[in-house]
């Protein structure tokens, strides 16, 4: 289980304080030996100072190593967090792109359906206009045919009336010619003589 940054800082402070205390102690011992001017004390002070210096150096080296290790772990953790964040952002981005693609596809399908419906509507309107035009044309043709039939009926009635008038006129003239012929025959029969009659019936009078 990793230590928290606060715990690491507290441990670092303790080690730094220990190293500083060792150095101060060695300095005090050396100063005391110099003041006493005793060779034995100086020897002991030098030996103690060397030991304290190495101890302080050891503490500082250990602290530097641990600090470097902690920094490496922190960088690794930050890198992992960064990669995790990048991966999460990538997932969100892919999800957003997929959603956008689906939305674009739905929009495209809706636009295509709208275009198809508009085309169907225009075709229906064109067919309706064509049917209406044909109906008007058929109505015009029917009216023309009716007028033509009416004109033919009127012409036929006029022609029939004229033929009836001509036939009536001809019948009247024929009846008069027959009457004149009978009268002429009777006149010829009653008025003829043995010596001087005409050789044939009298000529028909002109109508």
Domain ranges of the chain: 5-96
Helix/strand number for the chain, H first, E second: 2, 0
Q: Report CA-CA distances (Å) from 110 to 105, 107, 117, 119.
A: 8, 5, 10, 14
- What global pTM score does this model have? 0.40
Sequence-ordered list of residues with C-beta below 8 angstroms from that of 66, at least 6 positions apart, any chain: 8, 12
- CA terminus-to-terminus distance, the chain: 154
pLDDT digits (tens), the chain, 207 positions? 445 655 555 666 777 787 778 778 878 877 887 777 777 777 877 788 888 888 888 888 888 888 888 888 888 999 999 899 999 998 999 999 898 889 899 999 999 999 999 999 999 889 888 888 888 888 888 888 888 888 888 888 888 888 777 777 776 655 555 555 555 656 666 655 444 444 444 444 444
Q: Is the distance from CB of 207 to CB of 176 less than 8 angstroms?
A: yes
């Amino acid at each position: 289980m990793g230590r928290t940054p606060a715990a690491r800082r507290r441990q670092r402070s303790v080690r730094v304080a220990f190293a500083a205390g060792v150095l101060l102690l060695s300095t005090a011992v050396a100063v005391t030996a110099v003041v006493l001017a005793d060779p034995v004390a100086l020897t002991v002070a030098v030996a103690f100072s060397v030991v304290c210096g190495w101890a302080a150096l050891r503490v500082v080296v250990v602290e530097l190593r641990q600090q470097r290790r902690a920094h490496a772990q922190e960088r690794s953790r930050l890198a992992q967090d960064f990669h995790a964040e990048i991966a999460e952002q990538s997932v969100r981005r892919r999800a957003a792109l997929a959603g956008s693609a689906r939305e674009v596809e739905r929009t495209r399908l809706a636009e295509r359906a709208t275009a198809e419906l508009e085309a169907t509507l225009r075709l229906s309107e064109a067919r309706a206009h064509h049917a209406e035009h044909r109906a008007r044309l058929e109505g015009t043709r029917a009216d023309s045919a009716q007028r033509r039939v009416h004109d033919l009926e009127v012409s036929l009635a006029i022609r029939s009336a004229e033929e009836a008038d001509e036939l009536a006129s001809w019948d009247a003239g024929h009846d008069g010619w027959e009457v004149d012929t009978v009268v002429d025959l009777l006149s010829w029969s009653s008025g003829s003589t043995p010596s001087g009659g005409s050789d044939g019936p009298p000529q028909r009078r002109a109508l």
